[in-house]
Amino acid sequence: MVTATLTEVAKMLRPGVTTLALDQMAEQFIKDHGGVPSFKGYGPSSNPYPYSLCISVNEVVVHGFPGSYEVKEGDIISVDCGFYKDGYHGDHAYTFAIGEVSPELSQLMRVTKESLARAVSAARENNRVGDISFTVEDYTHRQHGYGVVRELVGHGVGKRLHEDPQVPNYGRRGDGKRLKEGMVLAIEPMINLGTHKVHTLDDGWTVVTADGLPSVHYEHTTLVRKGAGENLSQFGPIEEAERQNPNLSKAHL
């Protein structure tokens, strides 16, 4: 259902649409399909997250607030969705490019998505969390020179939206908790074009790059298996909607 929700977002994205309109559509879609938005109301009682989606544009890494901002040509937009139903959460994110974007941004998107696929393959029984972390950092930073966000991490997901273990996007092979078949993890590379450094805005949620350069975010809900991890969320339907939408770039696919 998180995949289905992001697929509807992919159909609706175009220049001029507000990020709040995307959020309102997604919330209604989630409720119409018997779910509850995992994110809305999540967090400390003094400052709960107020929306159903996190929509992070350009230099916003994650947790961007939907609002009056109108999507425009050249934007890259990370949309993160949580869907709660039948006692379990799904957590899934995808980054879209509106119209034509620069080759360096297309490559950043492609490399980040590829790092996620490699990390999912490493989510196999008897590996450790550090094997996933190393895989992301090695591919994105050592091989391509991008900044790997350190302040935010992936996590276990299931009956609660955030469970142990934490799954960083940097680390060493062989470190961390041993993986067992049946564990479910939210693996989510957050990769910056420039520095890895970030800071949080005054709203207490929105995380932006310290140098103002763009950031890309992809996430799968992943099941640990014997041979390799298995995606419970899927990019296929989202990518198909992306291909059908003339307002979205195809260069990174």
What CATH number is attached to the domain comprising 54? 3.90.230.10
Q: What share of the chain is helix, strand, coil (3-state, %, to 5)?
A: 25, 30, 45
The arithmetic mean of pLDDT across residues 151-159, rounded, is: 98
Count of domains for the chain = 1
> pLDDT value at position 46?
97
Residue 69: pLDDT band by 50, 70, 90 thresholds? very high
> pLDDT value at position 229?
97
Residues 6 or more apart from 13 whose CB is under 8 A from it? Answer: 22, 71, 77, 96, 98, 245, 247, 248
Is residue 139 situated within a structural domain? yes
Token pair belonging to 221: 């809900």
Burial class (CB within 10 angstroms; exposed 0-12, middle 13-18, buried 19+) of 167 = buried
> pLDDT value at position 126?
97
Is residue 226 situated within a structural domain? yes
Is residue 37 situated within a structural domain? yes
Residue 164: pLDDT band by 50, 70, 90 thresholds? very high
pLDDT for 114-137, tens place per residue?
999 999 999 999 999 999 999 999
Is residue 252 situated within a structural domain? no
Which is nearest to 34 in space by CA: 85, 99, 82? 85
> pLDDT value at position 149?
98
> pLDDT value at position 225?
97
Query: What residue numbers bound the domain in which 138 lies?
Result: 2-244
Residue with token string 């969390």: 129
Q: How far apart are CA 112 and CA 219, in angstroms?
A: 10
Q: Is the distance from CB of 186 to CB of 232 less than 8 angstroms? A: no
Mutual orientation of helices 236-244 and 2-12 as an angle, nearest 10°? 10
Which is nearest to 36 in space by CA: 81, 2, 85? 85
Is residue 225 situated within a structural domain? yes
Calculate the CA dihedral of residues 109, 155, 230, 92 and round it to 10 degrees: -50
Across the chain, which distance is largest between two alpha carbons, in Å?
48
* Residue 158: HSE in the Cβ half-sphere, 13 Å Cα cutoff: 10
The arithmetic mean of pLDDT across residues 168-175, rounded, is: 97
Q: Is the distance from CB of 13 to CB of 246 less than 8 angstroms? A: no
> pLDDT value at position 173?
96
> pLDDT value at position 116?
98
> pLDDT value at position 97?
98
> pLDDT value at position 48?
98
Asked whether the whole model's pTM tops 0.95, one would answer yes
> pLDDT value at position 87?
97
Is residue 253 situated within a structural domain? no
Considering the chain, what is the average pLDDT of its residues?
A: 97
Which is nearest to 108 in space by CA: 242, 252, 10? 252
Which is nearest to 21 in space by CA: 93, 71, 94? 71
Is residue 214 situated within a structural domain? yes
Q: Residue 207 to residues 3, 76, 108, 166: CA-CA distances in angstroms? A: 24, 15, 18, 18
Q: Residue 95 to residues 123, 138, 219: CA-CA distances in angstroms? A: 22, 21, 9
pLDDT for 194-250, tens place per residue?
999 999 999 999 999 999 999 999 999 999 999 999 999 999 999 999 999 999 999
Residue 71: pLDDT band by 50, 70, 90 thresholds? very high
Q: How far apart are CA 100 and CA 248, in angstroms?
A: 8
pLDDT for 5-22, tens place per residue?
999 999 999 999 999 999
Is residue 162 situated within a structural domain? yes
